[in-house]
Amino acid sequence: MTPDPTTPAAPAAAPDLLYTAAEDELRAAVRALLDDRASDHAAALARAEAGGPHDPALWRTLAAGIGAAGLLVPEKLGGQGASHREAAVVLEELGRSVTRLPYLTSSVLATEALLGCDTDRPAVAALLGSLAAGTAVAVLAVPLTLGPGSPPPAAVRDTGGALDGSVTAVADAAGADVLLVPADTGLYAVPAAAVTITPQTPLDLTRPLARVTFREAYGELLAGPATAPAVLERALRTGAGLLASEQLGLAEWCLAETVRHVRGRHQFNRPIGSFQALKHRLAQLWLEIAGARAAARNAADALATGAPDTDLAVAVAQAACSRAAVHAAEECVQLHGGIGMTWEHPAHLYLKRAKADALALGTAGHHRTRVAALAGLPGPQA
């Protein structure tokens, strides 16, 4: 299952869209941990409102105890040498519990960026090793909305050896130790202590955002101007492909929770779940989620095997999963009625995460535009 990054376009074998026994085991371990330590939504919400960072003890257990942070990192660099398929399973579980942990940002996006750099260089290898071990958190200093296939951002400039500029909507910047910054002269690693991180109020309370300001900040060059764009693209593509699994997990929780609710809630002397109008809506949602699962698995498998159609698989998964997750969360709020509008009920956390995820790493519209290019279906002007 371990992908070999040196062999790109493997022959187009049929994708494996199921879960392996090892993936099922990993899921069980992650779910047990999150059920035990992250199922108290009220506590998590209070913590987020207080503006504190993620729960470091929980992060250590997931990252190092279960080894989830190093799934994408080869063993010789201190990781688990697993693949995107396993990382996707972790993200499904994190989506299911909307847990506030820097997994997508540090263990996927930043890790994948570092894997795209020259891993023989001690600076790259050392940072990768500490991300894999969960002893450091790194995030890409780009707006969370940046999708694959976008022009590289030009917010940070190299002014004679030091970096200047500012980036907004950087996810998980607040708890990060290192920022990976695409600047005009390449990709740099900058210690968090060397920059100003100003928290922003996020729509999605479970994924904190911040403005990161670089003022004569010194960093270590990880990739020069020739390779940095490809490194960033690799990170964004992987991030988008795996975000689909987080969206899938989120959607599944919303459906399961809504079904549970409508079976138990009585109005008009019947369970509301026996009304056909609601049954049809939930059956439609189930169909959409079945599609999202196939698309998310396909993207994870394509990333893992280096399939030649990975770009298309990612774009299709993002287009399908963004919609399914938002639809599921919106139905969850609506079919819970007044309860669904309350701060106490966790439905709003899921809605906020779903909507923010729909913007993250490219909207569904952005990814459909990618499909147009990749599948040869140009618009009117072309």
Partner 1 sequence: MSARPTGPAAGSHGPDATAAAASASPAELRRRTEEFLAAHPPADTGRTDFLRARFDAGLAWVHYPEGLGGLGAPRALQAVVDTALEAAGAPDNDPRRIGIGLGMAAPTLLAYGTEEQKRRFLRPLWVGEEVWCQLFSEPGAGSDLAALGTRAVREEATGDWIVDGQKVWTSSAHVARWAILVARTDPALPKHQGITYFLCDMTDPGVEVRPLRQITGEAEFNEVFLTGVRIPDAHRLGAVGQGWEVARTTLMNERVSIGGMRLPREGGMIAPVAALWRERPELRTHALHERLLELWVDAEVARLTAERLRQQLAAGRPGPEGSGMKLSFARLNQEISGLEVELRGEEGLLYDDWTMRRPDLVDFTGRGAGYRYLRSKGNSIEGGTSEILLNIVAERVLGLPAEPRDDKDLPWKDLAR
- List b or e across 98-132, with b for residues whose CB sees 16 or more CB atoms inside 10 angstroms: bbbbbbbbbbbbbbbbbbbbebeeeebbebbbbbb
* Interacting residue with partner 1 among 60, 294, 308, 334 (CB under 8 A): 294
In angstroms, give the least distance from the CB of 315 to partner 1.
8
Restricting to residues 208-237, which ones interact with partner 1 according to CB under 8 A? none
- List b or e across 329-367, with b for residues whose CB sees 16 or more CB atoms inside 10 angstroms: bbbbbebbeeebeeeebbbbbbbbbbbbbbbbbbbbebb
* Interacting residue with partner 1 among 297, 327, 336, 352 (CB under 8 A): 297
Residue closer to partner 1 (CB basis): 64 or 259: 259
| 28 contacts 109 by C-beta, under 8 angstroms | no
- Considering the rule CB under 8 A, would residue 360 count as an interface residue with partner 1? no
Provide the β-strand partners of residue 190: 179
- Considering the rule CB under 8 A, would residue 369 count as an interface residue with partner 1? yes
Dist CA 80 CA 176 (whole Å): 22
- Considering the rule CB under 8 A, would residue 47 count as an interface residue with partner 1? no
The interface mask with partner 1, positions 5-34, x = CB under 8 A, is ---------xxxxx----------------
Which residue stretch of 55-63, 83-91, 148-156, 266-274 sits at the interface with partner 1 (rule: CB under 8 A)? Answer: 266-274
- Considering the rule CB under 8 A, would residue 335 count as an interface residue with partner 1? no
* Interacting residue with partner 1 among 33, 69, 167, 292 (CB under 8 A): 292
Place of tokens 């299911």: 96
- DSSP 8-state class, residue 77: G
| 105 contacts 179 by C-beta, under 8 angstroms | no
* Interacting residue with partner 1 among 10, 203, 287, 339 (CB under 8 A): 287
* Interacting residue with partner 1 among 70, 165, 273, 346 (CB under 8 A): 273
Helix (H) or strand (E) segment spanning residue 179: strand 178-183
Residue closer to partner 1 (CB basis): 164 or 286: 286
Dist CA 31 CA 27 (whole Å): 6
Collapsed DSSP state (helix, strand, coil) of residue 46: helix
List of residues contacting partner 1 (CB under 8 A): 14-18, 259, 262-263, 270-271, 273-276, 278-280, 282-284, 286-287, 290-295, 297-298, 316, 319-320, 368-369, 371-372, 375-380, 382
